[in-house]
Amino acid sequence: MDLYRGELIGKYEVITQLSVGGMAELFLGFTSGPGGFRKYVAIKRILPDVRSNEQFERMFLDEARITAAFNHPNIAQVYELGQEDDGLFLAMEFVAGQNLDQLTDACRRRRQPLPLGMSLAVGRDVCMALHYAHTFAGPSGRPSPVIHRDVAQKNIMVTYDGVVKLLDFGIAKARGSLERTHVGTVKGTAGYMSPEQVRGDPIDGRSDLFSLGVVLWELVTGQRLFEGKTERDEMVNILEAPIPSPRQRAGQVSEEVSAVILKALERNAGDRWQSGRDMARALEDAAGRMMFDTDRRAALMRSLFQSKMASTRALLDSADVGKAPAPSGPEPAVIVSPDVGEPESWEPSTPLPRAEDEELAAEAASLSARATALPEDDSVTRDATRGPWAIILLALVVGGGFLIWKLVPALDEQVEPEPKVPAFVDPRLRQFPESGQPIPPPVQAADAGSAAVAEPVEQTGKKEETPGKKETGKPSKRGAPVQTGLLTLVITPEASVFLDNELLGRTPIFNKAMRTGTHYLLVLGPDGQKRRLSVPIKAGKPVVLKLSLNEIPLR
């Protein structure tokens, strides 16, 4: 049971505690009104043992004063600054989604890259959020620019509806700020700071654009840019290490996109993009139709975080019925601004589960529920141990055990176990292994003019299928259910995919149900060339294909 559930913080009733950091704690709560009105908020409250810290309290007030005046769709809002006996608190916009660290981790676990169009769309929206902050003017019209100073993957969210949100202006620098940075103090996330920020020089909005350039470089390549063993090493790398073109690390990135990112990463601020709006326009021009719209972003989020979304819905529904939800899944992904001064504490308290782990956990919970429910009806146990029923029951158990003991070895001799089929990973694609893991050796590409094949197919001696037709195997018996498998197809750049002259969809395509057998797909890319892709679908088996368009042979 949540110890904080039902507690009041100002006018807000707490549903659950979300996070605890070194300086503040975070809650999910709501306020109610007439006619069933309900507004959900995230509540940040200073921890009791730091309420006497005047510096942190000033930073807390700075965050409220700066962001309460903001009104931009890509910036998480602050609704209220309040004070009660337990100290200051902020009521902020409730953001249900995942930050970029969690998004890229989910893609890595599925062994698929984050779609390039998704990365560029996120970058474009963050550019517009930064431009709004950098050119902000108060109600009187007096310019009051705000520099974020901590643009990093952990502070950029994508909601389950596909909306990008820039979070945590807790260490932002604004004109008239109450909290002054002391000489020699560096604030920000190591590895994402601008060179002038590392040196402690005066900064402006172009410093945030450098940080966003680092984020984009890492999103499109799947690698760290200024990685080091310590924070000091990362800062030295920011000042001195060479910055390779993203295209050198990820061939699917075009020269135009690489040029936009590299200009943001110029060490001399005068050579960078001079405003977030200029950088946003450059990204749009370079991406073209490749850039994901809101619907496609939402579709990707749904495909990656179905269980998280369900947990969040259950948590919100529990507020309506006035009781906590049953612990049937992982913790909900409800994320807002992290604690000031303790950004590293805003990691999930439990690791994100893999899809198969979630299925096992659900099955285990179901079995556990059934097992614990049985002893409650002890009349069944008493009746079963009385009179002749006990003898009959004992005979059935002993006889059944004897049959199993005899039959299982015989069946094992006759039935060959089904071989385990590993999840497919195309060896021609760039892999993004965890730190310390070996990179699989490359293999030779398919010969020109042949069909690209999803995975090795055993030689059976059967006559080769005629191109353009589907291999359906032996005809199924009359009335037998049609067997299907799932296809996930990621092609860069994006392409239209046809099956038997019917549009299957536009990549990326996630978990598309298809009949079993080998299908020959027609792939039509932005260059207008027709290509042929062979995809074998097995019953109940997911097939994941991640390809560059130029790897698929022309038809």
537 in Cβ contact with 519 (< 8 Å): yes
Reported as a pLDDT band with limits 50, 70 and 90, residue 237 is very high
CB atoms < 10 A from the CB of 338, how many? 25
Is 205 within a domain? yes
pLDDT for residue 322: 56
Residue 258: which of 118, 120, 153 has the closest Cα?
120
Distance from C-alpha of 390 to C-alpha of 74, rounded to nearest angstrom = 69
pLDDT for residue 296: 95
Burial 516-531 (b: 16+ CB within 10 A, else e): bbbbbbbbbbeeeeeb
SS3 state of residue 477: coil
Average pLDDT over residues 201-213: 95
Above 50 in pLDDT, residue 71?
yes
Per residue in 276-331, pLDDT (tens digit) is 999 999 999 999 889 999 999 999 999 999 989 988 888 888 776 655 454 444 44
Which helix or strand (DSSP H or E) is residue 12 part of? Answer: strand 12-20
Is 173 within a domain? yes
Is 405 within a domain? no
Per residue in 455-472, pLDDT (tens digit) is 333 344 444 444 444 444
In order of 351, 393, 394, 407, the CA distances from 404 in angstroms are 40, 17, 16, 5
According to DSSP, residue 153 is labeled G
Is 528 within a domain? yes
Per residue in 390-404, pLDDT (tens digit) is 555 556 555 555 555
Distance from C-alpha of 348 to C-alpha of 335, rounded to nearest angstrom = 10
Average pLDDT over residues 178-203: 73
Instruction: Give the lowest-confidence range in 18-32, 437-451, 466-480.
Output: 437-451
DSSP sequence for 423-468 = PP--TTSPP-PPTTPPPPPP-PPPPTTSPEESS------PPPPPTT
SS3 state of residue 271: helix
Q: How far is CA 156 from the centre of its chain?
A: 11
Above 80 in pLDDT, residue 533?
yes
More confident residue, 509 or 455: 509
* 3-6: long-range contacts, CB 8 A cutoff, minimum separation 24: 5/324
pLDDT for residue 398: 55
2 in Cβ contact with 16 (< 8 Å): yes
Residue 306: which of 264, 362, 262, 379 has the closest Cα?
362
Q: What is the CATH number of the domain that holds 82?
A: 1.10.510.10
More confident residue, 323 or 35: 35
Distance from C-alpha of 240 to C-alpha of 248, rounded to nearest angstrom = 19
Average pLDDT over residues 154-181: 74
Is 265 within a domain? yes
Among all chains, which residue has been given the structure tokens 């984050």?
114
Residue 213: which of 265, 167, 259, 254 has the closest Cα?
265
Peptide bond into 493 cis (omega under 30): yes
Distance from C-alpha of 113 to C-alpha of 43, rounded to nearest angstrom = 34
Distance from C-alpha of 490 to C-alpha of 498, rounded to nearest angstrom = 14
According to DSSP, residue 500 is labeled T
According to DSSP, residue 75 is labeled B
Is 283 within a domain? yes
Q: What is the CATH number of the domain that holds 530?
A: 2.60.40
pLDDT for residue 224: 94
pLDDT for residue 437: 44
Distance from C-alpha of 169 to C-alpha of 189, rounded to nearest angstrom = 13
CB atoms < 10 A from the CB of 549, how many? 19
267 in Cβ contact with 211 (< 8 Å): no
Distance from C-alpha of 41 to C-alpha of 24, rounded to nearest angstrom = 16
SS3 state of residue 549: helix
SS3 state of residue 274: coil
pLDDT for residue 285: 95
* 121-125: long-range contacts, CB 8 A cutoff, minimum separation 24: 121/164, 121/287, 121/291, 121/292, 121/293, 121/297, 122/156, 122/158, 122/164, 122/219, 123/212, 123/215, 123/216, 123/219, 123/283, 124/280, 124/283, 124/284, 124/287, 124/291, 125/74, 125/164, 125/280
Give the domain-ending residue among 295, 323, 344.
344
Reported as a pLDDT band with limits 50, 70 and 90, residue 535 is confident
Average pLDDT over residues 124-141: 92
Is 376 within a domain? no
SS3 state of residue 81: strand
pLDDT for residue 436: 43
Distance from C-alpha of 496 to C-alpha of 303, rounded to nearest angstrom = 20
In order of 224, 371, 456, the CA distances from 76 in angstroms are 26, 45, 48
Give the domain-ending residue among 344, 362, 383.
344
Reported as a pLDDT band with limits 50, 70 and 90, residue 350 is very low
More confident residue, 318 or 5: 5
SS3 state of residue 82: strand
When divided into structural domains, the chain yields a total of 2
Residue 265: which of 191, 184, 321 has the closest Cα?
191
**Residues above pLDDT 70, as percent of the chain:** 67
Catalytic residues: 150
Average pLDDT over residues 185-206: 85
**Residues above pLDDT 90, as percent of the chain:** 33
**Burial bucket for residue 379 (CB in 10 Å: 0-12, 13-18, 19+):** exposed
Among all chains, which residue has been given the structure tokens 């949540």?
2
Q: What residues make up the domain containing 245?
A: 8-179+187-344
Is 476 within a domain? no
Above 80 in pLDDT, residue 552?
yes
431 in Cβ contact with 425 (< 8 Å): yes
Give me the chain's average pLDDT, please.
74
Above 70 in pLDDT, residue 487?
yes
Give the domain-ending residue among 294, 313, 344.
344
Per residue in 359-412, pLDDT (tens digit) is 434 433 333 333 333 333 443 334 444 455 555 555 655 555 555 555 444 444
DSSP sequence for 330-398 = PPP-B--PPPTT-GGG-S-SSPPPPHHHHHHHHHHHHHHHHHHHGGG-HHHHHHHTSHHHHHHHHHHHH
